[in-house]
Structure 1
Amino acid sequence: MARTSGPETREKLIRAGEEVFAAQGVDGAQLRDIVRIAGQSNPSAVQYHFGSRGGLLDAVMAARQQRTEQVLTAELARTGDELGLHALLTALVRTEATELRTERGLRCLRISAQLSHESGVRTRTPHPTLDGTVYWTLIGRLEDCLVALSPGLPEPLRLERLDLALTMVGAALGDRARQYLADTTPLTGEDVFLADLVETTAALLRAPHPTPGDPS
């Protein structure tokens, strides 16, 4: 009988969760498929180890965050005290792009693209997997850049724009991951794609903001 306890089983369930959440979607994933792929005989294995589907999903994202935190720390160290918007976005995109290197990373990019709006940016309350992370600190530094670049930008619009920018980065990398997993040739090389993603995101954040009286 397959084990249903211990760190080895937990890791098997996380790996299976990555596969199923990426293939079936966060909302459509079937727990029975995760249990089967993980080689577990206990149908309640996910509940036993993680409490719920949401608990497993958080564990999947926490594992991904742990990988990228180390990379992001190194990327930010390369910028030193430079707080410019372009440098921060470059660090973010380069970090996230490291997930394109492995099949596990590709799957996690597909998953995280579906969860972009759950980061907590709009409410300033980080999701538990982001609380205290370098990634969350980076978000704060990006907002500081927006305040400096557009001092008249109202806070609600600033937070919404920042959330949309992060969502765009996640969606773009998630789609790139989809193409790689499907063995589809992208329209552009990866270097061009990543550079353009930085520029496009920067342009979104720098865009003139509407003023009262603008046509709706």
Structure 2
Amino acid sequence: MPRTSGPETREKLIRAAEEVFAAQGVDGAQIRDIVTLAGQSNPSAVQYHFGSRAGLLDAVMAGRLARTEAALAPLLAAAADDGPALRELIALLVTAEATELRSDRGRRCLRISAQLSHESGVRTRVPHPTLAGTAYWRLICRVEEALAAAGLPEAVRLERLDLALTLIGAAMADRARHYLDGAASLTGEELFLADLTGTTTAFLLAAAPRTEGVPHE
């Protein structure tokens, strides 16, 4: 009988969860499928190692964030004294996120994290616990500062920033799906990333709408 204890089993469960969460969706994934794929016969293996389904998902995302941080932190540090414009900040984020496209594991995690983009805490300025103190969150704060300098009202810039992260996540997840399925993409990766950077920047910097005469619900 396969053991349910030890770091090797824990890693097998994380790898299996990445596959199942990506294929079935965060809400639709069946824990029994994860346990089976990990080669475990004990149905309580997830609870033993992670405490709960949510704990397993957090572990998957912690690994994904660690890889992105390793790419983003040096990029952000190098740009720290240059006062980068908004487009450069978005380019740093897109470049770091795109490193997950290099492997099937990263591609699966992009598909998972796209479903969780609204949990970042941007709208309330309270980061998700996994993002507190990270280069990712520091970059988000700098993007908001750039939007404030551009004259966008607070509510508008926070909502746009949250939606921009959703846009980037969805675009990356779609590209990841193409790679995983072996499907052809309309554009090469370099053009895709450049267009995603430009499109996101343009969205963020669009003129704030006038509220006069706009109906409110």
**TM-score, with structure 1 as normaliser:** 0.96
What is the Cα deviation at residue 83 of structure 1? Answer: 2.9
Mapped pair 1:171 → 2:137: no
2:179 is equivalent to residue 180 of structure 1:
yes
Structure 1 unmatched runs, 5+? none
Runs of 4+ in 1 over 3 A off after TM superposition: none
Could you say which residue in structure 2 is the equivalent of 1:41?
A: 41
Deviates more, 1:35-44 or 1:125-134: 125-134
* CA contact 2:76–2:135 (8 Å) conserved in 1: no
Q: Mind listing any 5+ residue stretches in structure 2 that lack a counterpart?
A: none
Q: Which amino acid aligns with 1:35?
A: V
Determine the structure 1 residue equivalent to 2:154: 155
> Which residue is equivalent to 2:203?
204
Q: Paired residue for 2:92?
A: 91
| d(CA) in 2 for partners of 1:66, 1:154 | 33
Which secondary structure state, in structure 2, belongs to the residue aligned with residue 110 of structure 1? helix
Letter in 2 for 1:44: S
User: In the aligned structure 2, how far is the partner of 1:175 from the partner of 1:52?
Assistant: 28
How far is the alpha carbon of 1:154 from its aligned partner? Answer: 2.3
Give the direction of change, closer, same or farther, for the CA distance of 1:80–1:156 in structure 2 (3 Å limit): closer
Contact 2:87–2:201 (CA under 8 A) maintained in structure 1: yes
| CA 1:191–1:44: 2 relative to 1, 3 Å | same
- Cα distance between partner residues in 1 of 2:38 and 2:181: 23
1:133 aligns with 2:134: yes
User: 1:118 is matched with which residue?
Assistant: 119
Q: Deviations over 1:105-159 (max 9, x none)?
A: 0000000011100111111111121111110111000000001112xx2212211
Q: Distance in 2 between matches of 1:161 and 1:49?
A: 38
Report the AA paired with residue 39 of structure 2.
Answer: G
In the alignment of these two chains, the number of paired residues is 214
Shift of residue 214, structure 1, vs aligned partner: 4.6
Equivalent-residue separation in structure 1 for 2:87 and 2:77 (angstroms): 15
Structure 2 CA distance for aligned equivalents of residues 60 and 147 of structure 1: 34
Question: Residue type of the partner of 2:132?
Answer: D
- The CA distance in 2 between the partners of 1:37 and 1:189, in whole Å, is 33
What's the secondary structure of 1:83's corresponding residue?
coil
Aligned CA-pair RMSD: 1.1
User: 1:133 is aligned with what amino acid?
Assistant: T
Give 1:104's aligned amino acid.
R
Deviation at 1:21, TM superposition (A): 0.2
Q: How far, CA to CA, are the matches of 1:5 and 1:131 in structure 2? A: 30
* Distance (Å, rounded) in 2 between the aligned partners of 1:208 and 1:154: 11
Compared CA separation, residues 214 and 184, structure 1 to 2 (3 A): farther
SS in structure 2 of the partner of residue 43 of structure 1: coil
CA distance in 2, matches of 1:171, 1:100: 13
Specify the code of the residue in structure 2 equivalent to 1:182: D
- Provide the C-alpha distance between the structure 1 equivalents of 2:162 and 2:61, rounded to a whole number of angstroms: 18
Amino acid at match of 1:141: R
Look up the equivalent residue of 2:147 and give its one-letter code.
L
Secondary structure of the corresponding residue to residue 95 of structure 1: helix
Equivalent residue number for residue 19 of structure 1: 19
Contact 2:87/2:197 (CA < 8 Å) preserved in 1? yes
Percentage of identical aligned residues: 68
Corresponding residue SS for 1:3 = coil
Partners of 2:214 and 2:158 lie apart in 1 by 22
